[in-house]
Amino acid sequence: MSKTQFVFAALAAASGAAIGMAGTKTVNVKRPGTLEKHVKAVDAARLASLKIKGTLNNDDVRHLRLLLGSDSLLNQLPSSLRSLDLADVSFENSGSPFYARGGKNKYSISSAHSLPACLTYQSGLEEIVLPQKLDTVCAFSLSQAGFRNLSIPDGVYVDRRAVVGDTLLQTLRLPAMPEAVSPSWAGLKGLKSISYGDVDYCEAQSFTGLPELEEIVFEGMVGHIDGYNIKDCPKLRRVEFRGPVNTTGGAEFTANCPELEEISIDGLVLYFGNVKNEGAPKFKGYRIGGAVIESGDTALVPVVAAEAALARPELARQLEKLARWEIKQLRAEDSGFLRKTAYSAATELTDSLLDMAGMPALADSVREAVAFAKSTDDFKPKLQILKESPSYQAGNAPDAVFVYAMPSDSVLAADRAFFNLDSIAGEGTDVEKMKRLTYWVHDLVPHDGGSYNPEPRNLRHLAEVCKEEGRGVNCRMMAIMLTEALLAEGIPARYLTCQPKAWDTDSDCHVICVGWSESLGKWIWLDPTFAAFVSDENGTPLHPGEVRDRLRRDMPLVLNEDANWNHKSRQTKERYLDNYMAKNLYFISANSINQAEPESSVSYPHKQGKEICLSPLGARAPKGTVITTDEVWFWQRP
C-alpha cells in the first residue's frame, strides 16, 4: 500500500479472521448515484471488506451508511462490514442531501476531496483507507466507529468535530491544525496516545479526566499552549514537545497525574511559563534536549544562553519558523488572542534573536509586522475603538415590536408575593424603586462568570439554586432576574447584551438592565452585577445609549460611589466605564419580548422573542440578531 493511502486503522487479529470468513468486494462506480446497483443493502450482513472506486454523490453516501449499519435516522442495521477502502474515490455534490444525527441535521457533500460529514458515524467500521486526494475531514466523519487507531495525513484540514465521542479509539495522530483537538471536549475516554503536527493554539483543560491517556506528543510547532492544560489523567507518563514552541502560559501545566514521569522539550522554546506539575510523585523533571530561552521558573525549566542555542543549526531553523509564524499572526486580518501572544514574543525576544542569528532581513520583517499589529484594534485603548466607531443612522427600523409583560402576569404576581417585592421596592420615585431592586438582586446572589446557567431561568428558581448550592450566576442570569423583578413591580424593563467590536474573537461581554422611568420619560442604566448606576454631572440618570455617546465625546460621567463586585472590589469610573464598558458598548442588543423566563436552552434560538441589535452603520454585527442603526427607535418608550 502506498504512503498516500494512509490507512486509518489496522484490523485486530479477530477482525482479520472475520474478513477471511466473510466476503470481500470491489466495485467501480462509473456514474454517481449508482452504488446501490453494485452493492445491495442485504450484502452488508455478509461483507467484511469493501473497496470502492469512482465518484460518489449524496445518494451514494446515504447508501454507504446503510451498508455500514446505520441509516439516516441512526437506526442500527445488520452489517459485518469492517474494512472500507476509498483510496480511488472522489465525491460530487449531486443527488438529495443525506441526513444524519437523528435526522435533525441535513448534510451534503462539501467538495470533491472532502470526506463527507457523518460518513462512518455510529458504524462498526474498524479500518478505512482514505481517498488519495483527500484535503478535508468534515464534522463527525470518523466519529463513534470501531476504529482503534487513526492517523490523519499531513496537509489535510480536520474539523475539530471530526472525531467525537469515540470511546474505542486508542491512538490518534493529527496533522497541522489551527486549534488542537481537545480529547476531553471530544469525549475520547479510551485514548492512550495522541500526537499533533503544527498547532497554533492548544486551549486550557484540553486533557482533563482521560482515564487511559498515557502520552501526549507535539511533533510540530506550537504557537501557544495554555497552562492548566492537563488534569486527572491517572495513566499519563510523558508529554513531549519535539518541535519549536513560541509561548506557553499559566503557572500550572499538569495536576493529579500520579504516573507522570517526564516532560521533554527537544525544540527551541522562546518562553515556557506553565512549569508546575502538582500531584505527580513520580515526576523526574523536565528533560531539555533543545533549548529554552526564557522560563517561568528557571529552577524547574532551566534556560540556556541565546548564543549557545542559536549556534545549533536545527534550532536556528526553528527560530526562523517561529518568526514566520509570528509574522502570520501579527498580520492576520482577525487574529485576536494569538496576535497578542505573537506580539509579546516578537517584541521581547524574536527580533533580537534573529539579529543574533544573522537573519537581519527576517528581523526587519518581524518589526514591520509588529508595527502593523500595533495599528489594529487589538492594541488600541478600548475607548479609542468606541470613538472610532461609525455613527448610527435613522430610518431602518426593523419589523419588530418590544413587548413587556404586565405585573398581573401569573408568574410575576407570584414573584411579587413570594419575595415581597412591594416592600423591597419601597416608596418614593420610580428611580428610587429601581435602584432598591437592583441592590436587592446584587445582594441576593453573588456573581460567578464561570457558572452554568440552571433551568428554568426565572427569578425564583435562580435564587433558590444559588441558595441551595451556595453558588452564584453570571451577569446574564442576574440581569434576567432584575428584569423580572422590575416587571413584577409594573416597571417596563429590558436586559441588554453589551458586546465588543470583536465579538467573534472576544467572548467577554456584559449584560445589564434598563428600566423605564415614567417620571423622567426615559430609560436608565441598572447593572445588578456591579450595583452600578450612571448619571451625568447634574445627577440625571442615563441609559446605555447616552453613556455610550458621552464616552465617545469625552463628556462627564458619574458612577455611584458604592458600585462594587461581590462586595469585594470597588468599581471606579475609569475601570468600569472608560475601559470595561467602553469595550462592551460597541453593540447593544435587547430581546423583543420581556417577560418571566425569557430564555431557555431548549427553545430556539434560545429566546422567546427576537434579539434586536443596535449597531453602528456598516459594522459587522453579531450573528443571529436583527440589526437596526436607528437609536431613536431602539430606545423608544414602552
Q: In sequence order, what are the residues at sequence separation of 6 or more whose Cβ sits closer than 8 angstroms to the Cβ of residue 197? A: 154, 174, 175, 176, 177, 219, 220
Cis peptide before 556 (omega within 30 of 0): no
Reported as a pLDDT band with limits 50, 70 and 90, residue 22 is low
Question: What pLDDT is attached to residue 14?
Answer: 32
Instruction: State yes or no: pLDDT of 36 exceeds 50.
Output: yes
Q: Please, are residues 479 and 496 in contact by the beta-carbon 8 Å criterion?
A: yes
Is the pLDDT assigned to residue 43 strictly greater than 90? no
Q: Which amino acid is at 12?
A: A
User: Is residue 263 helix, strand or coil?
Assistant: strand
345: left (phi over 0), alpha (psi -120 to 50) or beta: alpha
Beta strand 587-591 pairing with 493-499: antiparallel
Torsion sign, CA atoms 572, 578, 583, 587 = positive
CA nearest 253: which of 211, 289, 286?
286
Residue 623's nearest CA partner among 457, 511, 499 is: 499
Rg for the chain, CA atoms, rounded? 29
pLDDT for the residue 221:
97
Task: Judge whether residue 195 has pLDDT over 60.
Answer: yes
Cβ atoms within 10 Å, residue 586: 23
User: Can you give the pLDDT at residue 361?
Assistant: 96
386-393: average pLDDT: 95
Measured at the alpha carbon of residue 249, what is the angle toward residues 347 and 381, in degrees to the nearest 5? 55
State the span(s) of the chain assigned CATH 3.80.10. Answer: 1-169
H-helix segments, 375-429 = 382-387, 410-419, 421-425
For residue 599, report the phi and psi dihedrals to the nearest 5 degrees. Answer: -130, 155
Q: Residue 597's pLDDT band (boundaries 50, 70, 90)?
A: confident
CA 220, chain centre distance (Å): 23
| Minimum mean pLDDT range among 14-23, 138-147, 455-464, 547-556 | 14-23
Do the strands 268-272 and 291-295 form a parallel or antiparallel pair, or are they unpaired?
parallel
8 A C-beta contact, residue 505 and residue 337: yes
Cis peptide bond upstream of 605, omega within 30: yes
Reported as type and span, the H/E element at residue 211 is none
Tens of pLDDT, residue by residue over 417-431, are 999 999 999 999 999
User: What is the structure's pLDDT at 523?
Assistant: 98
pLDDT, one tens digit per residue, over 108-132 is 999 999 999 999 988 889 999 999 9
Bridge partners, 225 (sequence order): 202, 248
Q: Which helix (H) or strand (E) holds 65?
A: helix 58-67
- Averaged pLDDT of the chain: 90
Residues 356-364, mean pLDDT to the nearest whole number: 95
Give the pLDDT confidence score for residue 604 in this predicted structure: 35
CA angle 388, 394, 398 (to 5 degrees): 110
Pick one of 3.40.50, 2.40.128, 1.10.101, 3.80.10 as the CATH number of 1-169. Answer: 3.80.10
Say yes or no to pLDDT of 491 above 60.
yes
154: its cell numbers: 499531513
Kindly list the distances between the CA atom of residue 199 and the CA atoms of 174, 220, 318, 338, 530, in Å, as whole numbers in the listed order: 10, 7, 14, 12, 39
Per-residue pLDDT averaged across 157-165, rounded? 92
| Mean pLDDT across 619-634 | 94
Kindly state the average pLDDT of the residues 46-72.
92
What one-character DSSP code corresponds to residue 599? Answer: B
How much is the pLDDT for 420?
A: 97
pLDDT at 238: 96
How many whole angstroms from its chain centre is CA 638?
36
Q: Are 243 and 218 in contact (CB under 8 A)?
A: yes
Mean pLDDT of 342-350: 91
Tell me if residue 19 falls in helix, strand or coil.
helix
Please give the DSSP secondary-structure letter assigned to residue 280.
-
* Per-residue pLDDT at 9 exceeds 50: no
- Say what the pLDDT of residue 337 is: 82
Q: What is the 3-state secondary structure (H, E, C) of 520-572?
A: CCEEEEEECCCCECEECCCCCECCHHHHHHHHHCCCCCEECCCCEECCCEECC
Q: Mean per-residue pLDDT for 355-367?
A: 95
Q: Indicate the SS3 state at residue 26.
A: strand
Contact (CB, 8 A) for 29 and 53? yes
pLDDT digits (tens, 9 = 90+) for 64-93: 999 998 877 777 778 889 999 999 999 999
Task: Give the residue-averaged pLDDT of 145-149.
Answer: 93
Which of 16-25, 279-288, 456-465 is predicted least confidently? Answer: 16-25
**What share of the chain in percent tops pLDDT 70?**
94
Asked whether 219 and 197 are in contact (CB, 8 A), the reply is yes
Instruction: Give pLDDT tens digits for 526-544.
Output: 999 999 999 999 999 999 9
